[in-house]
Amino acid sequence: MTKSCVVSRVQFCVNLHEFLKTKRRILKIAKKSAPTNNWNDTIKHNYEKFGEDFTIEEFHGSIWSGVHLFRKTESTLIFLAKKNRAPINNSTSNLPEEFLVKSSLTESSSSLHHEKEVLSNLGPFVNLVDCYGDEITISKSGEKVYNVFFEYCSGSSLRDHIRKFGPNGLQEHEVRKYTRDIVHGLYYMHCNGRYIHGDIKSRNILLSHGMAKLASFGLARKLTAEVICEEEISGSGPYASPELAREGYLGWPADIWALGCVVLEMFTGKSAWSFGDAHRYLMDCNNEKIPEIPKNISREGRDFIKKCLIRSPYKRRPSWLLIKHPFVCQ
């Protein structure tokens, strides 16, 4: 191959890379410029589809019924359910007495289908919430509803647990324990399941009997050399890695950056930084600033956080090394 051919090929690769980055920026600007439905209007619309006299009792399946509504998003209702009679087939025989149900109208259930598929591919693991299956039901207004059954973690989310302790944060022994659980969950996803979680934050980590479990796999992607994330990331801005915020590139290092933010949040009782600060510092390619790490944290804790919050994704420590770190081993 001649020198001119080599130069031409290198130039083509560089131009292609720049084109993809430019295309990504255009897509993000177009998304932010496009008019969006008001959140409350969307919820109201979904409720109207379920019927104006919506009640939790409307949600029931072959052997289960809804008990208490926990949360509602733009397209999903999340509530506590219980078994009300003996299973009629093998697909529902593994349901516990109480479990969590996520329900969406079938025409807006693609994310829920994806979450079910991811957990089915990953299989059961102690630091991931269990998925017990799915079922399609019919609402009173005749709409098809897609329901997925998840493990009910009675300890609520890590975010709620942190808020109970206020600005002082959690005790270090507790931070170590939850961090160990999260790292094991990520290690299993990255190394065994070959998946990126894509949305690690304290709200998506649930507590059950003193154990932390990863949840909410709607943004999970198969682990490849590089994944271009087409999802809007503004909802998790304070946890977004520099490469994800700037260029939309999602890989396992993005999970590790978010892990560092969660550990810092456990120690301090507040987000690693506000969304405004995150956006300003992460979008600056020449800025090496990371969230401030308090000096009263142990040497092992400070070192663990620093190894997660390395701005370059190529230097950030992977889960298969963090799992051996003294902070989670001692």
Annotated catalytic residue 181: no
Question: How confident is residue 133, by pLDDT bands cut at 50, 70 and 90?
Answer: very high
Lowest mean pLDDT among 203-217, 261-275, 315-329: 261-275
Residue 146, SS3? strand
Domain boundaries, the chain: 41-150, 158-329
**Is the pLDDT at 4 greater than 70, yes or no?**
no
Q: Which of 128-132, 187-191, 241-245 has the lowest mean pLDDT?
A: 241-245
Segment 17-30 shows an average pLDDT of 39
Average pLDDT over residues 172-186: 97
Q: Write down the pLDDT at residue 245.
A: 79
Most confident of 38-42, 46-50, 111-115, 226-230: 111-115
Instruction: Say what the pLDDT of residue 89 is.
Output: 60
**Burial class (CB within 10 angstroms; exposed 0-12, middle 13-18, buried 19+) of 30:** exposed
Strand (E) or helix (H) holding 138: strand 131-138
Model confidence at 90, pLDDT cuts 50, 70, 90, reads: low
The answer to whether residue 131 scores a pLDDT higher than 60 is yes
Report the pLDDT averaged over residues 130-141.
89
Mean pLDDT throughout 54-58?
Answer: 60
pLDDT, the chain, mean = 79
- Higher pLDDT: 26 or 318? It is 318
Q: How far is CA 101 from CA 43, 67, 280, in A?
A: 17, 10, 38
Return the structure tokens found at 8. Answer: 């031409």
Assign a CATH topology to domain 41-150: Phosphorylase Kinase; domain 1 (3.30.200)
Own/partner long-range contacts of 143-146 (Cβ < 8 Å, ≥24 apart)? 143/49, 143/50, 143/105, 143/106, 144/105, 144/106, 145/50, 145/59, 145/103, 145/104, 145/105, 145/106, 146/103, 146/104, 146/105, 146/106, 146/109, 146/112, 146/113
Q: What average pLDDT does range 119-133 have in this prediction?
A: 96
Top pLDDT among 255 and 165 is at: 255
For residue 247, give the nearest of 273, 226, 216, 217 by alpha carbon.
226
The reported pLDDT for the residue numbered 225 is 60
Per-residue pLDDT, 94? 78
Q: What is the pLDDT of residues 271-303, one digit of tens each?
A: 887 767 667 776 665 677 788 899 999 999 999
Domains 41-150 and 158-329 share a fold: no
Question: Which residue did the predictor score with more confidence, 225 or 246?
Answer: 246
How much is the pLDDT for 243?
84
Sign of the Cα pseudo-torsion (254, 266, 213, 146, in order):
negative
Catalytic residue among 130, 134, 181, 199: 199
Q: What percent of the chain has pLDDT over 90?
A: 50
pLDDT digits (tens, 9 = 90+) for 228-263: 565 544 335 789 888 887 777 888 999 999 999 999
Could you give the C-alpha distances from 48 to 39, 55, 75, in angstroms and in order?
A: 14, 12, 13
Of the two residues 35 and 100, the one the predictor is more confident about is: 100
Residue 309 pLDDT grade (very low, low, confident, very high; cuts 50, 70, 90) = very high
Task: Report the predicted TM-score, pTM, of the whole model to 2 decimal places.
Answer: 0.79
Indicate the fold that domain 158-329 takes in CATH.
Transferase(Phosphotransferase); domain 1 (1.10.510)
What span, in angstroms and rounded, lies between the C-alpha atoms of 146 and 137? 7
